[in-house]
Amino acid sequence: MIPIDYYLWLSAVLFTIGVLGVLYRRNAIIVFMCIELMLNAVNLVMVAFSNYMNDAAGQVFVFFIMAVAAAEVAVGLAILIMMYRITKTTDINILNRLKW
Amino acid sequence: MTLNLFYFLSFVAIFASLLVVFSKSPVHSVLYLIVAFFAIGGHYLLLNAEFLFIVHIIVYAGAIMVLFLYVIMLLNLNEESEPHKSNLLKFAAAIAGGLLLLILVASLKGVDQLPAATMQHDVGYVKKLGHVLFTEYLLPFEITSVLLLAAMVGAVMLGKPEKYNKG
């Protein structure tokens, strides 16, 4: 059977790829996708621990995380479309005018 | 056999995630992200979490990815319109990501002393999970439905053209 630490390593690598994508890309849609990737890395480690501890609470939390992720993507993409309508680009560097 | 399957799914997930970050066209990124999500769903199956596997496929591959593809189609994004960071910033991003991985690896160093999981539990089945969800976590479940309603109203309001939002 698969040891629990294999899942921890895998989640760490997936989470790091997500963080790398957020830092590396300038397209706001890709940044969103990388955030989804990070959420999935966390979900994976929660399911692994839920199975390891024989406790269903972890999987219920994953269920809630999925619901929140769906809500987040819906609102985020709506904001993105509104931003595109005004600026005609999805470049996140345009958003630095929000600083002032 | 199970371990080989684990290695295969992990390889697919990591490779597809890397391609999400490094592929040129946003449409390709979305398609690779679907592959990565299916690989992670396979991990859920390996962990006996059948309910979560189904929900994961429906929510991520079915709903969220369609939303992403639809937005990319609507905005008509392609390789030419893709903004790029300068090489210095890309290098800094790679260094920062590598440092994060280093910290995570360092913090997980002693973890291999844990005993191997048995992985034969029935916690992932719909019956047991539903019982926990509707007794212990009933209030968060109801609040989640309010959250989804609020998100729906917010998305509709934000998505409307500007002229309809006056008055």
Residues of chain B above pLDDT 90, percent: 44
Average pLDDT score over residue span A36-43: 94
Q: What is the dihedral of CA B95, B101, B102, B107, to 10 degrees?
A: 150
Judged against a pLDDT cut of 90, whether residue B40 lies above it is answered with yes
- The string of pLDDT tens digits covering residues B139-155 is 999 999 999 999 999 99
**Cβ distance of B83 and A10 shorter than 8 Å:** no
CB B147 within 8 A of CB A67: yes
Residue B48's region, left for phi above 0, alpha for psi from -120 to 50, else beta, is left
The verdict on residue B55 lying in a domain is yes
Alpha helix stretches (DSSP H) within chain A: 4-24, 28-53, 57-87
Residues of chain B above pLDDT 70, percent: 89
The verdict on residue B120 lying in a domain is no
Q: What is the pLDDT of residue B82?
A: 73
* Exposure letters B96-129 (e unless 16+ CB within 10 A, then b): bbeebbeebeeeeeeeeeeeebebebebbeeeeb
Provide, as residue numbers in chain B, all residues whose Cβ is less than 8 Å from the Cβ of A47. 43-44, 47, 49, 52, 124
Average pLDDT score over residue span A46-67: 89
Judged against a pLDDT cut of 90, whether residue B86 lies above it is answered with no
The verdict on residue B60 lying in a domain is yes
Average pLDDT score over residue span B91-98: 91
CATH number, domain at B58? Answer: 1.20.120.1200
Q: What is the pLDDT of residue A87?
A: 83
Contacts 24+ apart (CB under 8 A), B141-145: B144/A64, B144/A67, B144/A68
Last residue of a domain, one of B78, B100, B125: B78
SS3 A61: helix
Tell me the domains of chain A and their CATH numbers: 2-92 (1.10.287.3510)
Judged against a pLDDT cut of 70, whether residue B91 lies above it is answered with yes
The verdict on residue B126 lying in a domain is no
What average pLDDT does chain A have? Answer: 88
Cα B85 to Cα A16, A23, B100, B141, distances in angstroms:
19, 10, 20, 41
Judged against a pLDDT cut of 60, whether residue B117 lies above it is answered with no
SS3 A27: strand
The verdict on residue B104 lying in a domain is no
Assign B115 a pLDDT band (cuts: 50, 70, 90).
low
- The string of pLDDT tens digits covering residues B102-112 is 998 888 887 76
Average pLDDT score over residue span A75-91: 86
Tally of structural domains, chain B? 2
- The string of pLDDT tens digits covering residues B50-81 is 889 999 999 988 888 888 998 888 888 777 77
Q: What is the extent of the structural domain holding B162?
A: 137-167
The verdict on residue B124 lying in a domain is no
CA distance B79 to B26: 7
What average pLDDT does chain B have? Answer: 86
Q: What is the pLDDT of residue B19?
A: 94
Nearest CB to B85; choose among A12, A26, A44: A26
Closest-CA distance of chain B to residue A96, Å: 15
Assign A57 a pLDDT band (cuts: 50, 70, 90).
confident
**Cβ distance of B67 and A59 shorter than 8 Å:** no
**Cβ distance of A1 and B2 shorter than 8 Å:** yes
